[in-house]
């Protein structure tokens, strides 16, 4: 398991992993632009020789608060600790760059992600009704928070 911070050079790997994990994929161009935005950073997880991308987390850290923008693990590599390792490294980077707390929004029916976040120290702090547009009707988002300064 190899995890490292990456920049725009990894935009295609991130878009590929995102495409495997979500119904609405983000383009490599979108990742490239995000990674050039203030405070945005990503961690990529790889394994094997030659290295194969297994998962990533994309975050923004500004003015003492960090946010997980998205996280995805290759479906074939899930439940092996990649998600937890990515969150741990992102939290460490956010803490080192001055963030005191980390937030995220997650669809209320995304039980795998909510379980991951609970397992990595996040607690529910709010609910945004109808936050995610969806063909079957808008979905609620759970807002979660984890302190980084303890």
Ligand X SMILES: CC(C)(COP(=O)(O)OP(=O)(O)OC[C@H]1O[C@@H](n2cnc3c(N)ncnc32)[C@H](O)[C@@H]1OP(=O)(O)O)[C@@H](O)C(=O)NCCC(=O)NCCS
| Residues acting as catalytic residues | 105, 117
Kindly state the smallest distance separating residue 64's Cβ from ligand X, in Å. Answer: 22
Kindly state the smallest distance separating residue 29's Cβ from ligand X, in Å. Answer: 20
Task: Check residue 45 for interaction with ligand X (CB under 6 A).
Answer: no
- Binding residue for ligand X, selected from 1, 29, 112, 138, defined by CB under 6 A: 112
Task: Check residue 71 for interaction with ligand X (CB under 6 A).
Answer: yes
SS (H, E, C) the chain: CEEEEECHHHHHHHHHHHHHHCCCCCCHHHHHHHHCCCCEEEEEEEECCCCEEEEEEEEEEECCEEEEEEEEECHHHCCCCHHHHHHHHHHHHHHHCCCCEEEEEEECCCHHHHHHHHHCCCEEEEEEEEEECCCCCCEEEEEEEEECCC
Residues in binding contact with ligand X, number by CB under 6 A: 18
Task: Check residue 128 for interaction with ligand X (CB under 6 A).
Answer: no
Q: Which residues bind ligand X (CB under 6 A)?
A: 21, 71-73, 78-84, 106, 110, 112-113, 115-116, 119
């Amino acid at each position: 398991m190899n995890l490292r911070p990456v920049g725009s050079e990894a935009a295609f790997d991130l878009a590929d992993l995102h495409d495997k994990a979500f119904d609405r994929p983000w383009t490599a161009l979108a990742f490239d632009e995000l990674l050039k935005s203030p405070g945005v950073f990503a961690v990529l997880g790889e394994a094997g020789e030659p290295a194969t991308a297994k998962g990533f987390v994309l975050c923004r850290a500004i003015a003492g608060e960090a946010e997980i923008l998205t996280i995805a693990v290759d479906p074939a590599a899930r439940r092996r600790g990649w998600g937890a390792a990515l969150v741990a490294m992102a939290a460490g980077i956010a803490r080192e760059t001055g963030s005191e707390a980390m937030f995220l929004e997650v669809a209320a029916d995304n039980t795998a992600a909510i379980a991951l976040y609970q397992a990595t120290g996040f607690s529910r702090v709010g609910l945004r009704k109808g936050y995610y547009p969806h063909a079957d009707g808008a979905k609620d988002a759970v807002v979660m928070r984890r302190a980084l300064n303890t």
